[in-house]
Chain A
Amino acid sequence: MRSFSQNRSALASRDFRCATTVPSPSRISAATMPASVELRRARPLLGTIVEIRATASDASVATRAIERAFAAIERVHRLMSYHEKSSDIARLNASAAQRPTTVHPWTRGVLRRAIALHRCTRGQFDIAIAPVLTRGGWLPRTAGQRAAPRATCADIVLLPRRRVRFLRPLRIDLGGIAKGYAVDRAIAALRSAGATAGVVNAGGDLRVFGSRSEPVYVREPASPGKLTPLTTLREAALATSAHYFSTRRWRGESCSPVIDPKLRRPSAARLSVSVCARECWLADALCKIVWLAGPAAGEILQAQRARAWVFDPSSRMNAESPDHKTRLNAFPSSCGPKHDDHSSRVRRRSPQSASLLRSDPPSAFAGRMNQAKLAADAL
């Protein structure tokens, strides 16, 4: 899971303010269209650089929308940072194994999503991997209780009245999902503040809303300074997980903070995985699932109307999952693991693909890619 490992220094609680106008091209275009302006701002948040663009009828609306969107991201940071002692996550890790701990509705929402993904991927996605991230040096060591050896996301119980209980000592980290969730919250804030279109990009996890299509570039995994056009997004989110910028030594190997929950170790694969989904929390989390499961993640991608791209510099092959884009636009944005229909849909999956999802070690990725290639050729 990508972690919030830089968060201890993020400037989350400062009072940031901004304003200014840049006329958008649409102002010039049609006299019949109402005038609109686009503003673009960037601030350091979530341990990375967050950029927000908003289009609105006038500059004051766009300024207020961007301000509210940054405030939503700061709030997610305060609630879900692993490092800040007063965050919901730090409080859960400290006390939820002893007694029910009350959390903010947003935190509960992310936990609910994470638990649903854990269930429908048979444990391939797990937020209870903070001990591994600590061992690898991506998260700081914390005093306090040790996590139980085989504790997983399944040990988290969501109780009524926003209370959360851990059945065993756990240490959770939302680094694989909360950044995407923060982007979703920022988009919601832009919308409700009256922006007509916008883009939120939190260090590579991004989401687009409004009537325009946005071209998106990815970094080449072998030389991250080179940018390549990947796709265009409209009313959709895209997240990328990649090894560059974040590798650390793990028992002599260079590893990424994508943790295999089954093997309890970071992945040594050198990959760039991008996922397009309707919401950014989902794109964020699916990146880790596709990273670990490879082409076997096709089933869950289809169930979630998502699409993935895998760049593997070692095999010199790229893989692209089937295009569910046409259905993506028609899919109601409220659907997802928060509704129980999702888990039942995944439960109907064939036993064969379920086992594929469960047992693939990350090192076998290139091999599976080649198998998939053979299968594709055979068609």
Chain B
Amino acid sequence: MRSNWLIVPATLAASTSGYATIYLTLEQAQAAIFPGASFSPAPVTLTPAQRTEIAKTSGVHVRNAEVRAWRVSSGGWFFVDEVIGKHEFITYALGLNANGAVRGLEIMDYRETYGYEVRDAKWRAQFAGKTTRSELKLDADIKNISGATLSSRHITDGVKRLLATYALVFAKS
């Protein structure tokens, strides 16, 4: 069989250096996790002491003091959070029931880039607490990528951080 393999010089034509996928808008994510409910914004700015406390209980660094939260008419809380990996930026929505149990999680958008700007702290900082996706000019047409696995650990850490934030700040309110 060996001779049947076609060997060709590596002339991979690089098509892009990043891409982005938008799965759900804010309204769509809210309706997906809490169908039929209405949402009232309840944003919170964490104090330095709260950030320290949340980092201690969750074991996850609290990069952003702004918590984007909504109180749900049917009971429970809705959060939108961003996590930053080495190359990926993920916005996701987390819904908690009134008792604090996870009701649903949906990835809202996924962006990936490998440019020099990723290592630039200022460039990364612009994502803190933002919903806008327009800063990035990435290729959104690529739908199917086969490759080694990117870990979902950052999302898992983000959920741990949000659950600790809920317990400290929202559970009693």
**Interface on A for B, CB 8 Å cutoff?**
2, 6, 9-11, 14-20, 40-45, 47-49, 51, 53, 179, 199, 201, 203-206, 208, 214-220, 223-230, 233, 238-246, 272, 274, 295-299, 301-302, 311-313, 316-322, 353, 356, 368-369, 371-373, 375-376, 378-379
CB-CB under 8 A for A49 and B152, given A295-B1, A321-B5: yes
- Shortest CB distance A303–B (Å): 10
Please give, as numbers and ranges, the residues of chain B lying within 8 Å of A205 by CB-CB distance: 146
Size of the chain B interface, CB-CB below 8 angstroms: 56
In the complex the two chains form, is A318's CB within 8 Å of B152's CB? no
CB-CB under 8 A for A9 and B149, given A43-B106, A216-B144, A313-B10: no
In the complex the two chains form, is B148's CB within 8 Å of A242's CB? yes
In the complex the two chains form, is A318's CB within 8 Å of B2's CB? no
In the complex the two chains form, is A49's CB within 8 Å of B156's CB? no
Please give, as numbers and ranges, the residues of chain A lying within 8 Å of B149 by CB-CB distance: 2, 6, 47-48, 179, 203-204, 245-246
In the complex the two chains form, is A48's CB within 8 Å of B150's CB? yes
In the complex the two chains form, is B147's CB within 8 Å of A372's CB? no
Closest A residue to B16 using CB positions = A227
**Interface on B for A, CB 8 Å cutoff?**
1-10, 12-19, 21, 23-24, 28, 31-33, 35, 87, 90, 102-107, 110, 112-115, 139, 142-153, 155-157, 159
- Shortest CB distance A62–B (Å): 13
Q: How far is the CA of A90 from the CA of B103 in the complex (A)?
A: 27
In the complex the two chains form, is A19's CB within 8 Å of B148's CB? no
Please give, as numbers and ranges, the residues of chain A lying within 8 Å of B10 by CB-CB distance: 311-313, 316-318
Please give, as numbers and ranges, the residues of chain B lying within 8 Å of A219 by CB-CB distance: 145, 147-148
In the complex the two chains form, is A298's CB within 8 Å of B5's CB? yes
Please give, as numbers and ranges, the residues of chain A lying within 8 Å of B144 by CB-CB distance: 199, 201, 206, 208, 214-217, 233
In the complex the two chains form, is A18's CB within 8 Å of B114's CB? no
Please give, as numbers and ranges, the residues of chain B lying within 8 Å of A179 by CB-CB distance: 149
In the complex the two chains form, is A43's CB within 8 Å of B105's CB? yes
Q: Could you name 12 residue pairs across A and B whose Cβ atoms are closer than 8 Å?
A: A16-B106, A19-B31, A20-B24, A40-B21, A41-B106, A48-B150, A216-B146, A217-B15, A224-B147, A227-B145, A296-B1, A316-B9
Closest A residue to B149 using CB positions = A203
In the complex the two chains form, is A295's CB within 8 Å of B5's CB? yes
In the complex the two chains form, is A376's CB within 8 Å of B33's CB? no
- Shortest CB distance B136–A (Å): 13
Among candidates A227, A246, A274, A369, residue contacting B15 with C-beta atoms closer than 8 Å: A227
CB-CB under 8 A for A14 and B150, given A43-B107, A226-B17, A298-B1: no
In the complex the two chains form, is A246's CB within 8 Å of B103's CB? no
- Shortest CB distance B8–A (Å): 5
In the complex the two chains form, is A317's CB within 8 Å of B145's CB? no
Closest B residue to A226 using CB positions = B14
Q: How far is the CA of A238 from the CA of B6 in the complex (A)?
A: 19
In the complex the two chains form, is B31's CB within 8 Å of A20's CB? yes
Please give, as numbers and ranges, the residues of chain A lying within 8 Å of B112 by CB-CB distance: 225
Please give, as numbers and ranges, the residues of chain A lying within 8 Å of B90 by CB-CB distance: 49
- Shortest CB distance A207–B (Å): 10
Please give, as numbers and ranges, the residues of chain B lying within 8 Å of A321 by CB-CB distance: 1, 4-6
In the complex the two chains form, is A14's CB within 8 Å of B102's CB? yes
Most buried by A among B87, B102, B104, B147: B147
Closest B residue to A214 using CB positions = B144
In the complex the two chains form, is B146's CB within 8 Å of A274's CB? yes
In the complex the two chains form, is A228's CB within 8 Å of B13's CB? yes
Closest A residue to B159 using CB positions = A11
Please give, as numbers and ranges, the residues of chain A lying within 8 Å of B114 by CB-CB distance: 223-226
Given A204-B149, A219-B147, 7 additional A-B pairs, CB 8 A: A9-B156, A217-B145, A227-B145, A228-B15, A246-B149, A295-B2, A371-B2
